[in-house]
Amino acid sequence: MKSRCAAFVVIALCSLSGAARAQKNEPVIGLITKTDTNPFFVKMKEGAQAAAKAGGAKLLTGAGKNDGDNAAQVTAMENMIAAGAKAILITVNDAKAIVPAVRKARAKGVLVIALDSPTDPVTATDALFASDNYRAGTLIGRYAKAALAGKRPRIATLDLFPGTPVGSQRHNGFLTGMGFAAPERSSNVLGRPAEVVCMADSYGNQTRGQTGMENCIQKNPDINLVYTVNEPTAAGAYKALKAAGKEKGVVIVSVDGGCQGIRDVGAGHIAATAQQYPLKMAALGVAAGLDYLMTGKKPSGFTETAVTLIAAKPMKGVDSRDVKTGMELCFGDK
């Protein structure tokens, strides 16, 4: 028993000194993503690792177990700070719930930058590098309006799940682009004008997207426009429409810009998608973190990384890029 205690103490001392050593040798930056499994975040991690290596910093990574998992992110943040991280980049799962942990970190002098999704309030973090999800939704909404060419829209929305800023912003942005009155960007409520005849939650995955679309088709067989919160959902929606023989007459729009999604645009399954750039976000974030660690200068405010509309068929009055460009810039397996 005694020898076990002694060993424990030795190990504890070593790790403490190891942490201290890490601090002295190289700067440590932490990256916490929403999940480990969405290719969007896989790409973000890769970008951050490359940028950190190039800048001579050590990158620690962590993530939630699933979309919405706040507790794991809080734990990751605490562990990273204990391991010596002086800058933390985080794509928050829960905009409000993460704030106390962020405030604690900043009080210790740690720089906290939100990536991709803002905290609530936005000012809780030092800075926000995000693509504007509302703007992404607006872009595809405008495209959809043009694609419908004056036909009366009968819309199905396949959303994420209740209460997420990303889901709400994309949804409400889409409605704004279509020309409807919709809640503004800070709202978590999903707008529902009369033209939206069916709403279902997809949890961002393909199977639930398919199930949601199947049920919506049952409810309103004459749906002609489908908004999907991300591309796996869109793939599921397309499968359901195809099985019902309706895929030719329905416009599907989405957000993300992953390589699989761009392929789907090229194949005509998705009419248009708003492409976002996780690599760019990560690179900007790491650069800002390194800057802080070297010079103590903190970034501030909202830095928007681009959103590009990718469509196979361009529409008059709506600026978009083609599939080839989309494939060059996409994230995921090419």
Partner 1 sequence: MNNWREKLPPLTAVGPLLALLFTCAFFTLQSDRFLTGENLSLVLQQVMVVGVIAIGQTLIILTAGVDLSCGMVMALGGIVMTKLATELGMPVALAIACGIGVTTLFGLINGVLVTAVRLPPFIVTLGTMNIAFAITQLYSNSQTITDLPDAMNALGGTFKISGTSIVYGVVLMLMLYVIAWFGLRETAAGKHVYAVGNNAESARLTGIATTRVLLGVYVLAGIFYGIASLLSVARTGVGDPNAGQTENLDAITAVVLGGTSLFGGRGAVLGSLVGALIVGVFRNGLTLMGVSSVYQVLITGILVILAVATDQLSRRSGR
Burial of residue 249, with CB atoms counted within 10 A of its CB: 0-12 exposed, 13-18 middle, 19 or more buried: exposed
Q: Whose Cβ is closer to partner 1: residue 155's or residue 315's?
A: 155
- Compute the distance between CA of residue 40 and CA of residue 117 in angstroms, rounded to an integer: 13
Q: Which of 59, 144, 200, 226 binds partner 1 (CB under 8 A)?
A: 200
CA atoms within a 13 Å half-sphere pointing along the CA-CB vector of 107? 7
**In angstroms, what is the minimal distance from the CB of 198 to partner 1?**
7
232 binds partner 1 (CB under 8 A): yes
Smallest CA-to-CA distance from 132 within 112, 116, 113, 114 is with 116
Using CB under 8 A, which of 49, 75, 260, 325 touches partner 1? 260
In the bound state with partner 1, the residue whose beta carbon lies nearer, of 21 and 219, is 219
- Return the H-helix or E-strand segment holding 158: strand 155-159
Asked if 272 contacts 309 with a C-beta cutoff of 8 angstroms, the reply is yes
* Residue with Cβ nearer partner 1 (56 or 221): 221
Q: What share of the chain is helix, strand, coil (3-state, %, to 5)?
A: 50, 20, 35
3-state class (DSSP) for residue 196: strand
Rounded to the nearest whole angstrom, what is the least distance from the CB of residue 210 to partner 1 in the complex? 6
Chain-centre distance for alpha carbon 197:
26
Within its chain, how far is the Cα of 321 from the centroid?
Answer: 21
Query: Using the rule CB under 8 A, is 186 a contact of partner 1?
Result: no
**207 touching partner 1, by CB under 8 A:** yes
> What single letter denotes the amino acid at residue 321?
R
SS (H, E, C) 216-270: HHHHCCCCCEEEECCHHHHHHHHHHHHHCCCHHHCEEEEEECEHHHHHHHHCCCC
Which amino acid appears at position 313 of this protein? K
Query: Which residue number, 83 or 161, has a Cβ lying nearer to partner 1?
Result: 161
- Point out which span in 80-88, 167-175, 214-222, 318-326 binds partner 1 (CB under 8 A): 214-222
With binding defined as CB under 8 A, does residue 167 bind partner 1?
no
Least Å from the CB of residue 268 to partner 1? 15
Query: Nearest distance from residue 75's CB to partner 1, in Å?
Result: 16
Subset of 17-56 contacting partner 1 (CB under 8 A)? 36-39, 42
For partner 1, the binding residues in 286-325 under the rule CB under 8 A are: none
* Options 21, 53, 103, 219; binder of partner 1; rule CB under 8 A: 219
Question: Reduced to 3 states, what is the DSSP secondary structure of residue 293?
Answer: helix
Contact range with partner 1 by CB under 8 A, out of 18-26, 105-113, 127-135, 216-224: 216-224
Residue 25 token pair: 């040798």
User: Which residue, 123 or 218, has its beta carbon nearer to partner 1?
Assistant: 218
Residue 15 lies near partner 1 (rule: CB under 8 A): no
Pick from 17, 79, 218, 300 the residue near partner 1 by CB under 8 A: 218
Q: How many residues bind partner 1 (CB under 8 A)?
A: 32
- Under rule CB under 8 A, residue 166 binds partner 1: no
* Separation between Cα atoms, residue 331 and residue 328, nearest integer Å: 9
Residues that bind partner 1 (CB under 8 A): 36-39, 42, 66, 161-162, 198-201, 203, 205-208, 210-212, 214-216, 218-219, 232, 235-236, 239, 260, 332-333
